[in-house]
């Protein structure tokens, strides 16, 4: 049986290498937000069609493009009318992006216990399921 080769530690990544993913992610989100600001999704068919809405069912994302457009025009109430779940989730999404970016900048690797990740994921899925059911009820004010 051959002896195991010594494990070489990987060299530390430079700040620019660590920042590549957050910068690419934030840049892509920014570019898509500008595109949604310039090409209004409120116009029928401007961004194609939603297959679930065409079948008469509003998915949890229906109205999300309109909500981003409304937010880019500083119309928070209109954005909430388009997709309330997105507007409520947005501060948490932005906070997560900020923490990820700062951690990468500082070279810090955050460890989140799997139990916490599981609880948050299950709670989020349950909230999205309830939101989807309620927005599809007849006469619901949550419909986009």
pLDDT tier for residue 1 given thresholds of 50, 70 and 90: low
Name which residue leads in pLDDT, 74 or 1.
Answer: 74
- Closest by alpha carbon to 110, among 119, 120, 100, 118? 100
- Closest by alpha carbon to 84, among 67, 101, 97? 67
The percentage of residues in the chain with a pLDDT greater than 90, rounded to a whole number, is 69
Q: CA-CA distance, 26 to 36, in Å (whole number)?
A: 15
Q: CA-CA distance, 79 to 67, in Å (whole number)?
A: 4
pTM of the model: 0.82
What is the dihedral sign for C-alpha 36, 50, 89, 115? Answer: negative
> 110-136: per-residue pLDDT in tens?
898 999 999 999 999 999 999 999 999
* Residues 60, 53 contacting (CB under 8 angstroms): no
> 66-113: per-residue pLDDT in tens?
999 999 999 999 999 999 999 999 999 999 999 999 999 999 988 989
């Amino acid at each position: 049986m051959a002896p195991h080769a010594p494990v070489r530690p990987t060299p530390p990544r430079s700040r620019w290498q660590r920042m590549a993913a957050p910068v690419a992610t934030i840049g892509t989100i920014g570019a898509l937000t500008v595109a949604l600001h310039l090409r209004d999704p409120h116009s029928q068919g401007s961004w194609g069609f939603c297959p679930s809405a065409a079948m008469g069912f509003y998915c949890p994302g229906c109205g999300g493009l309109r909500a981003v457009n409304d937010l880019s025009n500083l119309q928070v109430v209109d954005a909430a009318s388009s997709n309330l779940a997105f507007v409520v989730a947005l501060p948490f999404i932005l906070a997560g992006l900020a923490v990820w970016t700062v951690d990468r900048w500082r070279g810090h690797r955050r460890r989140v216990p799997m139990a916490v990740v599981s609880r948050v994921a299950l709670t989020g899925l349950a909230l999205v399921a309830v939101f989807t059911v309620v927005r599809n009820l007849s006469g619901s004010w949550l419909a986009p």
